[in-house]
């Protein structure tokens, strides 16, 4: 009996403090999006990659226009969103292909600017397309064609046909959420 009591006493001394239950991790904060790029930002020909603030963004509209009164002039492609700002990857490419099939896309022009919207789609929950693409070319000073390239697994991509390799910039705009892709007009010689 004395042995049992001693054994219980020794075992009780070996007991450790109860291990606290793991605390749930704080939800991961959304990645910050870059501040709006002002109009006087330097033009680039390097890839531009920005994180998004949302992962299920619906692109509701795409429109183009020439800005002839600016110095230098530029053409603007605007993507309008519902549900936040998607991630963005804009870069020049040698050729554009259709996602899935890998078939080459006919993109007019001497250069292609490829716009990837990551975490975005061009259709509603019921499958209705939200972007109406008009066949034909805008025939602006720098932008001469727009070709939808992909809308699959959270990536919406467009190939922009340019008259010549030109510098570009992007601007995030709010209320409503938009992304403006500006392509500089060719500079005079």
* pTM greater than 0.85 (yes/no): no
pLDDT tens digit at each of 189 positions of the chain: 444 443 344 444 444 444 343 333 333 333 333 444 333 456 899 999 999 988 899 999 999 999 998 888 999 999 999 999 999 999 999 999 998 889 999 999 999 999 999 999 999 889 889 987 776 678 899 999 999 999 999 999 999 999 999 999 999 999 999 999 999 998 776
| Domain spans in the chain, listed from the N-terminal domain onward | 44-184
pLDDT of residue 135: 63
Cα(167)–Cα(165) distance, rounded to whole angstroms? 7
Token pair in block for residue 5: 């009591």
What is the DSSP secondary-structure string of 92-150? EES--B-TTT-PBP---SSEEEEEEEETEESB-TT--B--PPPSS----SSEEEEEEEE
| Cβ atoms of 33 and 51 closer than 8 Å | yes
- Looking at domain 44-184, its CATH architecture is Sandwich (2.60)
Torsion, Cα 182 184 185 189, to 10 degrees, reads: 180
């Amino acid at each position: 009996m004395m042995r049992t009591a001693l054994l219980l006493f020794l075992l009780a001394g070996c007991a450790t403090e109860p291990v606290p239950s793991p605390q749930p991790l704080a939800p991961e904060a959304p990645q910050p999006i870059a501040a709006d790029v002002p109009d006087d930002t330097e033009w680039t020909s390097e890839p531009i990659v920005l994180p998004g603030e949302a992962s299920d963004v619906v692109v509701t509209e795409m429109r183009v226009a020439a800005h002839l009164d600016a110095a230098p002039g530029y053409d603007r492609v605007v993507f309008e969103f519902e549900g936040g700002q998607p991630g963005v990857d804009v870069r020049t490419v040698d050729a554009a292909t259709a996602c899935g099939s890998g078939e080459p896309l006919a993109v007019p022009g001497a250069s292609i600017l490829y716009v990837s919207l990551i975490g975005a789609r061009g259709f509603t929950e019921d499958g209705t397309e939200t972007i109406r693409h008009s066949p034909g070319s805008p025939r602006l000073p720098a932008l001469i064609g727009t070709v939808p390239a992909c809308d699959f697994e959270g990536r919406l991509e467009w190939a922009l046909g340019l008259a010549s390799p030109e510098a570009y910039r992007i601007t995030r705009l709010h209320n409503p959420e938009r992304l403006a892709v500006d392509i500089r007009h060719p500079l005079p010689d």
